[in-house]
A and B are shown apart, each in its own frame.
Chain A
Amino acid sequence: MAEFIDLVLLAMLALTALRIIFLKDLFAVVMLFGIYSFLSALIFVNLDAVDVAFTEASVGAGISTVLMLGTLALTGRKEKPSTHSTLLPLFVVLVTGAALIYGTLDMPPFGDPDNPVHQHVAPRYIEESPKEVGLPNMVTSVLASYRGFDTLGETVVVFSALIGVFSLLGVRRKQKKDLDSGLESHRVLHVVAKVIIPLVILFALYVQFHGDFGPGGGFQAGVIAAAAFILYALVFGLPKAFAVVGPKFLQWMAAFGVLLYASVGLYSMYKGGHFLDYNQLAADPVAGQHYGIIIIELGVGFTVFAVMLNIFYAFGSQAERSNVQ
């Protein structure tokens, strides 16, 4: 049964990808990308990888769709017809694809229990992490503790995305007052958004602090909290959202998250351990692991929230400006 569901989902994934290639209407393409992410999330759920599925659904289907729509508002929704010959790109793609397929021949057989990945690190994490880290959700143990340095790198990547967007666009704070965006007439949206937004923020906090025990963590929580504020900005307009959390504050917040993460590493060095060695944070090593993981997840949550919301601000304020002109 699980194989059948996998086959159906993979077929739908392939169909969606093919449709994305041939469609010229970029608005529909963005929507199909969202569907593609949801299908991937379903496949991850079927593989029992709920943490990955959660991230794919919230980041891939949620926030990237919103950000791509924000980009479309700046660039226009039609793909320009290509003027180049398609033969050379096709040749490059075919050669690269053939090389990749040739490379997979050397890979160990799929799902074989004798594979190196199932022999070496996985048993180590499964057997030792309850004793060494002691969290019920092993994914969080691996992500935040064993692979803490990688996760710091990911957080820095998210932060540098913000730097990239801001060096290209920047947030325009000057808005004209006579903006007729039609938002005033959406009474129903106003009422429902006011009810929904606190619940979404509450859920984000739950995901943030429940990541040690179930699926979730800083990445998902940051994205969900950013989605609540993006909803506010969409329904009530950017100026009002700026009054709640401004772009300047978010810049500081994004930097603060990365610094909080890295300072945990420096503090554990100060205590006499390695970088990000949470055992040094408390007298009891397992308690130290728990403190370390909660603090670095908080840092990740701050950075992801601030970066996603600020990128949306950058796109949104540009689009609003081009509408006025």
Chain B
Amino acid sequence: MENKENRRAPVSQKPLVIEKPKDPSYIGGTISIEINEKKVTVPLGTTILEACKMNGISVPTLCHHEDLCVAGVCRVCVVEVEGMRTLQASCAYPITAPIKIKTSTPTVRKARRNIIDLMLSEHYGECYSCFRNGKCELQNLAKEYGVDNYNFGHVEAPRYEVDESSYSVIRDMSKCVLCKRCVRTCIDLQEVGVLEAVERGHNTRISTFLDKPLLDVICINCGQCINRCPTGALRANDPSDEIWAAIDDPKKHVVIQTAPSPRAAICEEFGMEAGHSLTKELNTALHRIGFDKVFDTNTTADLTIFEEGTELVLRLYKALVQKEPVALPQFTSCSPGWVKFLEHYYPEYIDNLSTAKSPQQMFGALIKTFYAEKAGIKPEDIVSVAVMPCSAKKFECNRPEMNDSGYKDVDYGLTTRELARMIKEAGINLPEMPKGDFDSPFGEASGAGLIFGATGGVMEAAIRSIYEFVTGNKTEDAFANANILPLRGFDGIKYVELPLGEKFGPVPDVIKHLVPNWDWLKGVTLKVAIAHGTANAKKIMDDIKAGGKFSECHFIEFMACPGGCLGGGGQPIPTTPEIRMKRAQAIYAEDESLEMRKSHDNPNVVRLYEEFLTDGPCGHISHKLLHTHYIKRGRYIA
């Protein structure tokens, strides 16, 4: 599971310092307690909430979230502990003594009802007009705990203006119940820290630095706060109305690219268990909704491997052979949340970012150039939509640099959640759709592009190709079934060394003009690292700054979101470690089911270099369309 050791909890909500023994079987490792008059044994330090869960007793929660440190502020989870004058928040109470717990007494039930009633009294908005209708934790609590009346009234007018400034995250604080999950997500999980409680008492609210609109603070748009908000107080900036308008406009040619992670998660929006890919069903649905073409973002993920891989080779060549100063390690640049994080927090390292655009933006530039020309459609008539697991992609496609086709390369970034709503609105039950294919000329793509969706996936895709390019051997010879397992899994930070050996193959044609041979890589051990979640990224960056082992890496994959894209801020709500694990399994299973597993085997990409990007990876054409530059934003804002 994800590594929690480096978490910097907000000090007001310090995680409990009692360590749970690794092996509860040693003497004193467990403790006998009573829950509802039943004797049970739990590991020392278990919270009352966990102990109840282990024993099949349900306790309602709201501010508690599996990914986050303890808050203990909503008080919905209170229980009775014998001998204590007050009720105890079960999420925040570590068991270190043989206590007796009661989870459903008159006092407890009354307290829960009163607390839920109080939250409802301050929660503005009507459920039927809310995007979280049916998926709102407050609504569910009210239903479950028999609150059928606004016992303490209900607000009639919004208390706060909606902050719609951000391309990615919209904040409607009138719906906020002050559970502080967003604060803990931002400060603790992501270590970005743009949200905090301000004022006190009845005026307490969650705000930003100096109450500035979200666009003007150093928010990285990762949207992890949205994924953990129990109500509709946080949502993504939804472009679906504009997309419907484009679909309904006969003059517009509307194309959509679909990223790998939405396909592995959208099933959850249709009541299915997590972990089922609906790639082909989605193709059919998108065609039926009215998209003129459905393309596979994995195509440009494969293209990214060519561009970013070549860039890495060139950087290494410069460093090792030409002995020129060059920024290493190279950092991946496909996660726009991570890119903005670096621009704000480590602007001195922007030269380390690969100049290669993200797959979304590469695709955007190609659709309005290569594809427009091939299909004989004027680029201005094309509306280019990208369905992404991500809220930061909405910001990315609005970056002023992203107009290299001469037009806005990608018009709209759409999240998995928003797409699911469009599909439902069109009266389609996605899981029942017949299977369909992607459209040419960007139809088939490799499994390497697919696994971009999981943390470590970009690195694995890159290694699958680099290994073959350099050694001339098959990846399968070194890694069974081309599955590079050391790069997988949800450890917060992974570090892998890959000795390149002594025997090298010929330089492949596509980059022959850039490096003459591979002799200079003899004896080199490729050092790579992977981090997901910006808290982990920060750890690596601080190590690099201090000249630690990560500063000697050659290539590092960074993803802003925990779990990588599959845990993105545009993915279905809720998110838990278990759900993310299942999405990852779905992605890796789909990869393994494919014939084509490596980016350089993708015939569409090979043809692109033959027909369009004729001066090869990192050539002039590709530099114009597929590469970009970054901004040293810094932490201080005007």
A is bound by B: no
B interface vs A, CB < 8 Å?
A: none
